[in-house]
Structures are given as C-alpha cells and as structure tokens.
Chains A and B, each alone.
Chain A
C-alpha cells in the first residue's frame, strides 16, 4: 500500500516554543491531507483538512493561528504548533488518500508524532 511518512515520531519542547511536524506521501500524490489529534485512550479527532495550494479547513474549536498548516506540494503537508502549552501534549497523526481516487478509498496514516510540552 501507499506510504505516508511523518516526522518526528516524538518531540519534547518547552512551553511557549513552536514545533513543526511534517507529513509526506512517499510514493503517491496527495492533494488533500488530514491532521488528527488523539489524546490518551481516546479516538482520533480531526483538526483540519490540508489542501495543496490553498488554505487549510479547520474543524470547529481548532485555532487556526495556533495550529498552522502548510501544504506547499502534492507530497508534503506540515503542521506547526505555535506557542505550545502542556495542554497541547498529544498524539498528532496525519493521513492522506491517493490523488484522483474516489472519496471512499482507504486512508493511509503517518506513524504519528507524540508531542510532550513541558
């Protein structure tokens, strides 16, 4: 299957600093990528939909100025957590579908990034 690579797999940062997470589709093009957040023992909650060449679409309650998303190419989307605080500590996961496929195809997930803000 298609491969989505997410980096870093874990990061520890100080409160008030920013952290950038990268999501790459290695062997396919993805016009749309999705960013999820997962708190311990909870389900995945969609944060935003990242669209190549245009602004991201954020879910209700997600601060777009805090979670900056850039999708500059068909194979790369980045999520930057700005001015991170301990409550932002979570597991962040990106996913993508194959470009040009129907919307009911499977999603491929990155390995996830475990962010700890101290």
Chain B
C-alpha cells in the first residue's frame, strides 16, 4: 500500500533553535497534509500542500512541497515550548483514507 517515510524520528532542540522534519514518498503525490499531535491529544490539521514547489507559511512554520511532489518539509523557526508534539505528514491512501507517516517527535528544552 501507500507509504510515506519521515525523518528524523526524534528531535530534541533548545528553545529558540530551529527544527525541520522531512517527509518522503516513492510515488508522486496529489497533495500532502501536515498534522500536529500534542502529547495525550489528537491530531490537529496544520496545512495542505497541492502545487509543485509550493511554499506556505504560518507564523514561524514554513511548509514546502517538492518540485517532483514526492517530498515535503516542515520548518519551525525559533522553537518554543508550545511547539512540543509529534508532527505527522499524511498522504492520501487507496480509497478515501489518510496514510500517516511515522511522525517526528519534537522536544523543546527551555
């Protein structure tokens, strides 16, 4: 079935440092979505990327979709403790469901 890889698995940063997580697929994607899950919480939608080479920003978060539409990245500038959580990229699987990447767990040390 559809699969997506995500790296790194874990990332520990000092507050104020930057953070990036990468998502890679072996197939061309129609779109990709990013979700954030706080510890003990449920996934919350962050953004969807559709166009080749697309870059979207949300305050300190920058999302990018690769030119070949096979990879994507999420970059956080100057992390804060509120950024703690697991970041998942998701792609459309067969049918209507979402396939979740393994996630990147971010820890921010104050």
Which residues of A are interface residues toward B (Cβ below 8 A)? 1, 32, 34, 36, 41-46, 49, 57, 93, 95, 97, 103-112
CB distance A43 to B105 under 8 Å? no
Chain A to chain B contacts (Cβ below 8 Å), 12 pairs:
A1-B45, A34-B96, A36-B100, A44-B43, A49-B96, A49-B97, A95-B43, A95-B98, A104-B50, A106-B45, A107-B45, A109-B44
The dominant DSSP class at the B interface is: loop
Residues of A within 8 A of B33 (CB): 106-107
Query: Is B59 an interface position by the 8 A CB rule?
Result: no
CB distance A93 to B42 under 8 Å? yes
Query: Is B92 an interface position by the 8 A CB rule?
Result: yes
Size range of the interface on B? 20 to 34
Residues of B within 8 A of A111 (CB): 41-42
The dominant DSSP class at the A interface is: loop
Residue among B31, B42, B90 with max Cβ neighbours from chain A (10 Å)? B42
Which residues of B are interface residues toward A (Cβ below 8 A)? 30-31, 33, 41-45, 48, 50, 88, 90, 92-93, 95-103, 105
CB distance from B13 to the nearest CB of A (A): 18
CB distance A34 to B88 under 8 Å? no
Residues of B within 8 A of A57 (CB): 95
Which single member of A36, A41, A103 contacts B92 (CB below 8 Å)?
A103
